[in-house]
Structure 1
Amino acid sequence: MNIGLLVIGDEILNGKIKDLNAAWLTGYLAKTPFRLNKVSFVRDREDEMLRAIKDLEECSDIILTTGGIGPTKDDLTKEIMAKYHGKNLVECQKTIEIVKKHYERFGKEWDPMSNDYRLIPEDFITTENPNGIAPGLVYQKSENKVFMSAPGVPREFQEMFSKVFLPYLLTNMKVENSDFEIFNIRTFGIPEEKIFFELCPGLWEKLEAFGKLASLPQLMGVDLTIVLEKNEKTQEKKEQIKRIVENTPLKESIWQYGLLSLPELIVQKAKEKNLTISLAESCTGGLSASRLTDVAGSSSVFIGSVIAYANSVKTNILGVKEQTLIDFGAVSKQTALEMAMGAREVMKTDIAVSFTGIAGPGGGSDYKPVGTVAIGLSSKRGDTSEVLNFHGDRLKLKSRFSQAGLYRLLKLIENS
C-alpha cells in the first residue's frame, strides 16, 4: 500500500530547518507492507494545503501529514483537514484526557482556554503522542483510504508513526502484499510500560529481531504486532516468537494470536464447544450484549440479556434475594453471583455473566467508589464472582466493565 507524505511548514521551505522525516520514513518502511510513493512540501497556506491533500489522495492509500498540529495560529492542519472532508471542529472528551495526560508527563497543567487542542474534526480519532504534547489525528475515510496527521518534530513524528500509526495501519487496513505477513499477539490487563520495562525487559529487542515490531494499546490490553517476511521460514518464526513470549510473565495475559476482537473470539470459541451464553447487565446497560450481537452468527450461541438496571428487575426477573441487596448492596459479589445464576436459570444457557457496578459520576462512596464493578459467572462447572476497580469517565468505565466481563467469559469458555 502506498503512503503519500505531506510536509507542512514555512520553516521547511525557507531553509530554516531541514526535513528529516521523509528520509527516515523511507528507511523505516523497508520491512513493512507499506511504501512511500510521493512527498509534497507546502507552506502554511490553506490553498496550497488543500491542493496537496487532493493530489496525494488521488495516488495514495494513506495520506500522512507532518506539522501544523500544534497550538499556534499558523498550525492549520486540523482546520484544513476539517474543511477538506466537510467536517466541523468539535470538542472531544478523549482528546481532553490525552492532552491532560501529555501535559502531566511534562510536569505541567493544561489550561483548555490557552489553545484549541480539545477541538478535532468530526469523525476523526485522537492518538497518543509518545514524545510530545500535541495529539495525532486519524480519519478512516473508507476501507482502504486513511488520513493521518502527526507533529513535524522528528523525534515526535518517528515515535508516533512507529508506536501509534503503524499498529493502526496493520490492524485496520487490508494489506494484500504477498511478501509480508502480520503476526499479532493480543494481551489483556497489563499496561504497555509495565510489559517492556518491568515484566519483560529485553522483550522488544528479541521480537524485533524477527521483523518490524509495533506496540498498540487497546481497551485494557496491548497488541504486539510483528511484520514478518513471508517465506519458507515464516511458520518457524511464528513458533519461535510464541516460545519467547510464553517463556515470560506475559504468558498468562495472552488471549489470542490473531486479529479477532474479543466478542468475535467468544462467539467462535462458543460455537466450537457448542455452548450457549446469556447475560445480566446493570451498570453496562446492554453494552456487552450489543457487542456480542455485532458479530455475525452470534445468534447460534447468544440467547439473550436481562438489563437489570433497577433492583426490582434484579429480584423479580433474576431472582436476586431482597435480603442480599439489603445486606450487601446492589454492587457486591453476592448480588453479581445471584444475577448470573438467575440469568442462566431463566434463559436456560450453559454460561451466564453478570455486571453490576458504579459508572458515575455520582453514586460512589469511600467503601465503593465510582469505578467499582462486580462481575458474576455461572456455569455447569460452578459459580463465582469478584469485585474490580477501574478509573475513567462514565462511558469509559462502562467499556472497561464490559471488557473485563467478556474477557472472563472467554476464559470460562476455553476452560469448559
Structure 2
Amino acid sequence: MKTAIVTIGDEILIGQIVDTNSAWMAHQLTLAGFEVEEIQSIGDNAQQIKDTIDNVFQRVDVVLMTGGLGPTKDDITKKTLCDYFGTTLVFDDSVLENIKNVVSSFTSLNELTRNQAYVPKDCTVIQNRVGTAPVTWFDHKGKVLVSMPGVPHEMKYIMENEILPRLKQKFEIEAYLKRVFIVKGYTESALAMHIADFEDNLPEGFGLAYLPSLGLMKLRLFVRGEQRLPELNEQVKKLKGLLGEAIVAEKDIVVEKILGERLFEKGLTLATAESCTGGNIAHMITSVAGSSNYFKGSVVSYANETKVNILQVSQEALNRFGAVSEAVAIEMARGAQRVLNVDCSIAITGIAGPDGGTDEKPVGTVWICTTYKDKYVARKYQFGKYRDSNIMRASNAGMLQLLEMVENG
C-alpha cells in the first residue's frame, strides 16, 4: 500500500523550521507495513496544494498532510481542501467541545480559536485530543487523504492513536520485516566491499540499506511479508557470520545508549574528562533516560589550567608532551576517575580545528584514554579537517573504546 507525505508551510521552505514530521511519519508508516512513495514540502498556496494532491494521487493510495490548520489567515489548508473536494465548511459542536476541553486549562477561548470548529462538511472528523485543530479524513475514489496539524507532538499523538489504526483497518498490508545492525570499524564503501557477495546473492524481495554516521554504520536488512521470516533469519545468520565482532548491536540504537545499557548491567559508574569535545560526550550520555544510574559527571577541561587544577594533570606532562598527547590523555582519564570516584572514565584531548594544527599534530589529531577500574587503553586517532565532524567522531570513538573494554572485562 503506497503512501505520500506532504508537509505544508512557508516556514519550512524558507528554513525557519526544520521538517521533522516527515521523517517520523515515514518511519512509523514503514514499520506498519506501508510503502512511502514520496515526501514533499510545499508552501501555503492554495493552487499548489490542489495541484500537489492531484499529482500524488496518481501514484499513491494514501496522502498524509500536515500543516496549515491553525487559526491565523495564513493557515489555508482546511479551506483549500473544501475547494478541492467540492464541499463547504460547517460548524461542528463536538469539535468546539473538544477545543474547550483542550484550552480550558491554560487560556481563554477567543474567536479565532472558536473558528477552528468549522470543518469540511463531507469528511470524517477526528478529534484532536492534544490540540485545537481537528483532523479531517477524506475518502476519495477508493483513496484516502488525511489532514493533520503540523505541531509535532499533536501529529505524533494523532498518528499513533487514530490514523495508523484506521489505515490498518481499511487497507490490507504486508508486514515489514527488518533487522538492524550497528557496525564499527568500516567506512560505507569498505563495508559494501566486504559484504558484496552476500548482498549480490540476497533472495528476491530482500533489501540492504546502509546508513552511515560519524564513526559507525547502520545496516538494515529488510523484506516484506510475514511468511518470509524464516528466510530473513537465515540471511541474518549469514550476515552475522561475515561481520563477527564488528557488530556493536543488533537493534536500532545509538552508541550512547548501548554503552549505558552495558554499564547499568554491570553496575558500573562513568565520568568524562573532555577537552576538544567540550562536553559533547556528557551531553550525549545524559540525553538517554536513566543515565543518572551510571553517569556521575564531567570535567570540561578545555584550558590547561583546568587540567592541572581539577584533574591534577602534571605540568611536567603538559610541558614535555603537550596537551594533545598520550601522557596527558592518561592523566586526564585517571584524574576524572579519581576526582569523581567512578569505575570508568573517558578522556579526550585533541585538535578539533579548523585552526591549531601543526605538521606534527595536524587538525583532527585526537588522543583518547578510557579506563575500566585499574585498566586503561590510550589510542591516537586521526580524524578530518572539519570541527563539527571531528567532535562527533571523537565522541563516538571514545564511547566505542570504553564499550570494548567493558565487554572484554
Q: Tell whether the structures are fold-level matches, with TM greater than 0.5.
A: yes
Q: Is the 8 A contact 1:210 1:226 kept in 2?
A: no
Q: Does residue 1:224 correspond to 2:219, yes or no? A: yes
Q: Which residue of 1 aligns with 2:146?
A: none
Residues 224-303 of structure 1: pairs in structure 2 closer than 5 A: 224-229=219-224, 231=226, 234=229, 236-237=230-231, 239-248=233-242, 250-303=243-296
Distance change in 2, residues 1:37/1:251 (3 Å): closer
| Residues in 1 aligned to 2:222 and 2:151: alpha-carbon distance in whole angstroms | 24
Distance change in 2, residues 1:178/1:277 (3 Å): farther
Query: Which string of whole-angstrom CA distances, capped at 9 and with x for unpartnered residues, describes residues 84-133 of structure 1?
Result: 99xxxxxxxxxxxxxxxxxxxxxxxxxxxxxxxxxxxxxxxxxxxxxxxx
Shift of 1:330: 0.4
> Secondary structure of the equivalent of 1:352?
strand
Residues 12-411 of structure 1: pairs in structure 2 closer than 5 A: 33-35=33-35, 48-53=47-52, 59-61=62-64, 142=152, 179-197=175-193, 199-207=194-202, 211-229=206-224, 231=226, 234=229, 236-237=230-231, 239-248=233-242, 250-411=243-404
Shift of 1:4: 2.0
Distance change in 2, residues 1:267/1:38 (3 Å): closer
| Residues in 1 aligned to 2:310 and 2:295: alpha-carbon distance in whole angstroms | 19
Q: Which residue of 2 aligns with 1:90?
A: none
Aligned residue-pair number? 289
Q: Is the 8 A contact 2:210 2:217 kept in 1?
A: yes
Q: Is the 8 A contact 2:277 2:348 kept in 1?
A: yes
Shift of 1:220: 2.0
Distance change in 2, residues 1:233/1:346 (3 Å): same
Distance change in 2, residues 1:203/1:32 (3 Å): farther
Query: Which string of whole-angstrom CA distances, capped at 9 and with x for unpartnered residues, describes residues 243-302 of structure 1?
Result: 322332x32321111011111111111111111111000000000000000000000010
Q: Is the 8 A contact 1:344 1:350 kept in 2?
A: yes
Query: Which string of whole-angstrom CA distances, capped at 9 and with x for unpartnered residues, describes residues 383-409 of structure 1?
Result: 120110011421121111111111112
Q: Which residue of 2 aligns with 1:105?
A: none
Q: Is the 8 A contact 1:31 1:229 kept in 2?
A: no
| Residues in 2 aligned to 1:229 and 1:410: alpha-carbon distance in whole angstroms | 34
RMSD of equivalent CA atoms: 3.9
> Secondary structure of the equivalent of 2:362?
coil
Q: Does residue 1:413 correspond to 2:406, yes or no? A: yes
Shift of 1:200: 2.9
> Secondary structure of the equivalent of 2:196?
coil
Query: Which string of whole-angstrom CA distances, capped at 9 and with x for unpartnered residues, describes residues 278-330 of structure 1?
Result: 10000000000000000000000100110000111111111111111111110
Q: Is the 8 A contact 1:341 1:378 kept in 2?
A: yes
| Residues in 1 aligned to 2:337 and 2:186: alpha-carbon distance in whole angstroms | 31
Shift of 1:182: 2.0
| Residues in 1 aligned to 2:399 and 2:239: alpha-carbon distance in whole angstroms | 24
| Residues in 2 aligned to 1:401 and 1:414: alpha-carbon distance in whole angstroms | 20
Q: Is the 8 A contact 1:2 1:62 kept in 2?
A: no
> Secondary structure of the equivalent of 1:318?
coil
Distance change in 2, residues 1:392/1:5 (3 Å): same
Q: Which residue of 2 aligns with 1:113?
A: none
Query: Which string of whole-angstrom CA distances, capped at 9 and with x for unpartnered residues, describes residues 27-61 of structure 1?
Result: xx999932368999x9xxx7643434477699534
Higher CA-based Rg: 2
Q: Is the 8 A contact 2:179 2:236 kept in 1?
A: no
> Secondary structure of the equivalent of 1:251?
helix
TM norm structure 2: 0.61
TM norm structure 1: 0.60
| Residues in 1 aligned to 2:286 and 2:155: alpha-carbon distance in whole angstroms | 27
Q: Is the 8 A contact 1:31 1:212 kept in 2?
A: no
| Residues in 1 aligned to 2:312 and 2:196: alpha-carbon distance in whole angstroms | 49
| Residues in 1 aligned to 2:335 and 2:232: alpha-carbon distance in whole angstroms | 43
> Secondary structure of the equivalent of 2:358?
coil
